[in-house]
Amino acid sequence: MVDQSTFMETVNSVSEIMKVAEKPMSEQDILAYFKDMELTAEQEKIVLEYLSKPKEEENSDAGQGEAAEKEDEPEESSEKSLVFQMYLEELESIPQYGHMEELEMYQALLQGDESAIRKISDCWLVRVLEIAKGYMMPKLNIEDLVQEGNMALFLALKRLCGSGKCDDAESVLKMAVEEGIMNYASEMNSARKAEEAMLAKISLVHAARKLLKEENGAEPTIEQVAEYTKMSLEELTDLFELLEKAKSESI
């Protein structure tokens, strides 16, 4: 597989070069930066479409509003989509192995053959994707789940390499992938719930301060807000700091 980090570094570098180039770069000029990666024809097409998209949006009068909206979107999101497109495209070129061939690869791995790690990883690309689909939840990206699954797979393969014996390597790998994906999904959901809870508290404090100020004709003290919201002074102090910081950044 194409190394994701190197690939995206190259994509971003070429994108920056295209912005400052005196004249438009040809497709051959663009692909020359990726020659050492041995991209397939389909992958080259994906790269060219991705790199040409910003230019088309900038030069389109009708699409100026849409382009402005896209500028506000995190660049990381589009990068992930590009890498995921490449991932899906590579799945089509992965060799298919029979059951006995896979067992031989597992045996070679257990005996310490590190070259088996790459072969087995390729075998598992589709399986990791299928496992990841089973853990999809709102606000989670399938590419993130796949990445975590592949990382868990790689670490499990490294542990098994040279271990000498394993009754069911396939089950061990499947369990490792599921655990890696499940842990990541759980962490992301916990982080989002914590963020949502914090936003709810900030909203409550903001509403309480506004209401108390209208009732008393003066800015309420932190003690008054604490009594109204039933929150501790320590927690309110932190929230007040967040509100003041947000207020100053908006000015």
Question: Residue 122 maps to which CATH number?
Answer: 1.10.1740.10
46-53, long-range: CB within 8 Å, 24+ apart, which pairs?
46/82, 46/85, 46/86, 46/89, 47/11, 47/82, 50/11, 50/78, 50/82, 51/11, 51/14, 51/15, 51/18
Task: Point out the domain boundary residue: 158, 173, 191.
Answer: 191
246 band by pLDDT with thresholds 50, 70 and 90: low
The pLDDT assigned to 4 comes to 62
Shared domain for 202 and 186, answered yes or no, is no
The pLDDT assigned to 103 comes to 93
Residue range 37-60: average pLDDT? 70
Question: Tens digits of per-residue pLDDT, 79-126?
Answer: 667 777 877 877 888 888 899 999 999 999 999 999 999 999 999 999
Task: Point out the domain boundary residue: 142, 160, 191.
Answer: 191
The residue type at 117: I
| Burial class, 94, CB count within 10 angstroms (exposed 0-12 / middle 13-18 / buried 19+) | middle
Percentage of the chain lying above the pLDDT 70 cut = 84
What is the C-alpha separation between 181 and 148, in angstroms, rounded?
Answer: 6
pLDDT of 63 over the 60 cut: no
Task: Point out the domain boundary residue: 56, 91, 126.
Answer: 91
Q: What is the tally of structural domains in the chain? A: 3
**Residue tagged 């009754």 (tokens):** 167
| Burial class, 51, CB count within 10 angstroms (exposed 0-12 / middle 13-18 / buried 19+) | buried
Shared domain for 197 and 187, answered yes or no, is no
The residue type at 204: L
Shared domain for 173 and 108, answered yes or no, is yes
Residue range 114-143: average pLDDT? 90
Shared domain for 72 and 26, answered yes or no, is yes
Shared domain for 111 and 77, answered yes or no, is no
Shared domain for 104 and 179, answered yes or no, is yes
The pLDDT assigned to 62 comes to 39
Shared domain for 106 and 87, answered yes or no, is no
The pLDDT assigned to 240 comes to 79
Higher pLDDT pick, 108 / 13: 108
Question: Tens digits of per-residue pLDDT, 167-225?
Answer: 899 999 999 999 999 999 999 988 888 888 888 888 888 888 899 999 899 999 999 98
Higher pLDDT pick, 219 / 250: 219
Shared domain for 185 and 198, answered yes or no, is no
Shared domain for 179 and 230, answered yes or no, is no
Domain with residue 229: its CATH number is 1.10.10
Shared domain for 219 and 157, answered yes or no, is no
Shared domain for 106 and 79, answered yes or no, is no
Q: Which of 111, 140, 109 is nearest to 124 (CA)?
A: 109
Domain span holding position 60: 4-91
Shared domain for 60 and 114, answered yes or no, is no
